[in-house]
A = this chain, B = another copy of it.
Amino acid sequence: MPFTRPEPPYYAVIITSALDADHLDGYAEMDARMAELGRAQPGYLGRESRTDAGGRELTVLYYRDAESITAWQQHPEHLEAQRRGREQWYANYHIEVAKVERAYGFDRHA
Contact indicator B99/A99 (Cβ below 8 Å): yes
Within 8 A of B (CB), among A74-104: 86, 90-104
A52, CB-defined interface residue at 8 Å: yes
Q: Which residues of B contact A102 (CB under 8 A)?
A: 96-97
Interface residues on A, range: 35 or more
Give CA–CA (A110, B18) in the complex, Å.
14
Q: Which residues of B contact A99 (CB under 8 A)?
A: 98-99, 101
Q: Which residues of B contact A16 (CB under 8 A)?
A: 2, 48
List, sorted by A's number, 11 A–B pairs whose CB atoms are closer than 8 Å. A12-B14, A14-B14, A16-B48, A50-B57, A58-B58, A58-B60, A91-B108, A94-B103, A96-B100, A97-B100, A97-B103
Which A residues contact B (CB, under 8 angstroms)? Answer: 2, 5, 8, 12, 14, 16, 20, 48-52, 56-58, 60, 66, 86, 90-110
